[in-house]
Structure 1
Amino acid sequence: MGDLKSTFVKVYSVLKQELLEDPAFEWNDDARQWVHKMLDYNVPGGKLNRGLSVIDSYKLLKEGRELTEEEIFLASALGWCIEWLQAYFLVLDDIMDNSHTRRGQPCWFRLPKVGMIAVNDGVLLRNHIPRILRKHFRDKAYYVDLLDLFNEVEFQTASGQMIDLITTLEGEKDLSKYTLSVHRRIVQYKTAYYSFYLPVACALLMSGESLEKHIEVKDILVEMGTYFQVQDDYLDCFGDPATIGKIGTDIEDFKCSWLFVKALELCNEEQKKLLHENYGKADPENVKKVKALYHELNIQAVFLEYESKSYEKLITSIEAHPSKAVQAVLKSFLAKIYKRQK
């Protein structure tokens, strides 16, 4: 795996160099330096799971045959397109959420010389994706499908972000707006499509498969993405900040969190009142009360039951798939996230 990661990281340098010499723009040193620094700060950080998943999935679809150098390069390039998409969302998300840190360093827009230039940097990151695709995939039979896929997933993610933002706005006035079905919609659109479906869809297209034929694969991956986000909500509250790399703020931020929605379902009138009075307040005392109520309602046990039920259901759907190679791809995804601590 270490070997695969270092190959993957080398491809980043190649793509970056190509973008810094893109013939559609007359570069000067200042522009080149800015983009160079902006890319290094925002794109290659993080766990790179989404990008590496493209190579992993493609390998499994090829059922263990040795990949050519070109195949590894192309699968890596698609993986990096997903990391670029992720960087674009995060740079803009951090501004919208007024966040302070990301991946253990200050958010890009917080840097003294950056500020609101970060908005345009987000737009640039988004525009790099079709540049990479055009340079390396233009002669491929699946080129149009790739462009279409990235456009579709970006639209779904931005729409999910919108429901998240407007629900939070409504939630501040009326917490009864937070329901499991609302939580599910937000998660499906905001996270599941780009983090789970997109890497596998890229690998399928590279393998010459049509995405229309694989609707059930999309459904399973979206289901997996939902399960992943519920874990995330759980870890935000009960995870160890040293392990997950950030301090959770879902309670303070009024988030439509799975824990909160579950607590609303389970609590009596008195507890509901306590939730309404303390949820979405920045004061540590309020947060403590919400967490104490979660303990009282035994939300941890409720989550563990949800986790094992989801796992069973996912395994059953995966094993119903006719292709062994596709099953292997889906199982490898599930193995990476089941019972994770970060």
Structure 2
Amino acid sequence: MTLDKAGIRSKFIGEFDELVKELVEILTDYKMPQEAIDWFVKSLNYNTPGGKLNRGLSVIDTYCILKNTPLEELSGPEYKKVALLGWCIELLQAYFLVADDMMDQSKTRRDQPCWYLVPGVDNIAINDSFMLEGAIYILLKKYFRQDSYYVDLLDLFHEVTFQTELGQLLDLITSDEQNVDLDKYTLEKHSFIVRFKTAYYSFYLPVALAMFVCGVTDEKDLKQAQDILIPLGEYFQVQDDFLDCFGTPEQIGKIGTDIKDNKCSWVVNQALLKVNPEQRKVLDENYGQKSDECEAVCKKLFKDLGIEQTYLDYEESVVGDIKKQIEALDESRGLKKQVLYEFLGKVYKRSK
């Protein structure tokens, strides 16, 4: 029986339920008190499965394409292993988001209060974020230690985590909420931030993990994937910046905070290229202020500057370039164009 989108998601979430049970068993073996186990389970369930799960599901999609095997024909153990890698990315995502929401003092995430704002959590969320990351390596050891590519998986997760943290560092020191300085912002700096903070773990990591499991491990294959997926991930984050400003909370599942948080977003960088001296003064006085009125002034200025049309023009240009890159891909090396078109299809013209 062919599964629809809801069925695919449900099957994937079923593996998360099993994963939680296994982590509970590990904590029980450590003789962890029940109250601590209950806390960890609550953190896992609150922070990990509530999103779109695109990163985790992409591992399975990519694996099926590379193996030329429909999802429904994967054996139980085969599906479990690739699904587990998908959940490891979702755990990594949860780790980043719990920490990021505290750093940004965000209020909502996935239509619910950020974890640190849940009654009784507060700064314990810092340790909870560490535990979400630590669970990745406990699971990798349990399921992949005997595989020839085990060290490749470890190296990949460690490297991509560090790359993401480098992007976060540049984001934080550029977007200092206490000292708003728009002179720090450039499109080049924005590009570095989004490639490192988002593109590596959201786009390259799922494909590279599936490639390792399929035995496609040559550096040239990985480079081909990276050269297309990183620009695609940058496009995704530019979309995210655009939606944060021009989308609604109902669309994006959170309250957009980039303007109030003084973020080095694509939107403000485009505005800085277009403003006249008077408009620049308005931007300097209102951007990065914790005020609804100042935020509204910025949004009106962005509309007046035609940022929406600038984004639509950018989108068509970048998607055209990515399609050309995909068409030039050498499929004889093991990577398939379909993998990359699947990713592009999930991103192009999305509204949330």
TM-score above 0.5, yes or no: yes
Please give the alpha-carbon distance, in whole angstroms, between the structure 2 residues aligned to 1:233 and 1:139. 42
2:25 is aligned to: 21
- SS across alignment from 2:25: coil
Please give the alpha-carbon distance, in whole angstroms, between the structure 1 residues aligned to 2:203 and 2:65. 16
Letter in 1 for 2:105: N
**Residue in structure 2 matching 1:139, options 142, 146, 160:** 146
Alpha-carbon shift at residue 216 of structure 1 (Å)? 2.2
Structure 1 segment 203-214 matched on structure 2, within 5 A: 203-210=210-217, 212-213=219-220, 214=222
- SS across alignment from 1:256: coil
Moved more, 18-27 or 308-317: 18-27
Please give the alpha-carbon distance, in whole angstroms, between the structure 1 residues aligned to 2:152 and 2:178. 38
Please give the alpha-carbon distance, in whole angstroms, between the structure 1 residues aligned to 2:137 and 2:85. 11
Percent identity reads 51
> Is the CA contact 1:21–1:27 (under 8 Å) kept in the aligned structure 2?
no
Moved more, 193-202 or 236-245: 236-245
1:64 is aligned to: 69
Deviations 1:80-99 (A, max 9, x none): 00000111111111111122
Pairwise CA RMSD of aligned residues?
Answer: 1.6
1:178 is aligned to: 185
Structure 1 segment 245-256 matched on structure 2, within 5 A: 245-256=253-264
> Is the CA contact 2:108–2:255 (under 8 Å) kept in the aligned structure 1?
no
Please give the alpha-carbon distance, in whole angstroms, between the structure 2 residues aligned to 1:54 and 1:71. 12
1:326 is aligned to: 336
**Residue in structure 2 matching 1:39, options 44, 53, 76:** 44
> Is the CA contact 2:49–2:90 (under 8 Å) kept in the aligned structure 1?
yes
Q: How many residues align?
A: 342
Whether 2:58 is the aligned partner of 1:48: answer: no
Alpha-carbon shift at residue 211 of structure 1 (Å)? 5.3
> Is the CA contact 1:318–1:330 (under 8 Å) kept in the aligned structure 2?
yes
Letter in 1 for 2:16: Y
2:124 is aligned to: 117
1:215 is aligned to: 223
1:340 is aligned to: 350
**Residue in structure 2 matching 1:258, options 258, 262, 266:** 266
> Is the CA contact 1:171–1:177 (under 8 Å) kept in the aligned structure 2?
no
Whether 2:299 is the aligned partner of 1:291: answer: yes
Which structure 2 residue ranges, 5 or more long, are not aligned? none
1:189 is aligned to: 196
Moved more, 258-267 or 276-285: 276-285
1:310 is aligned to: 318
Please give the alpha-carbon distance, in whole angstroms, between the structure 2 residues aligned to 1:223 and 1:60. 21
Which structure 1 residue ranges, 5 or more long, are not aligned? none
Deviations 1:200-245 (A, max 9, x none): 1111011111151221211211101100011111111111222222
1:163 is aligned to: 170
Letter in 2 for 1:273: K
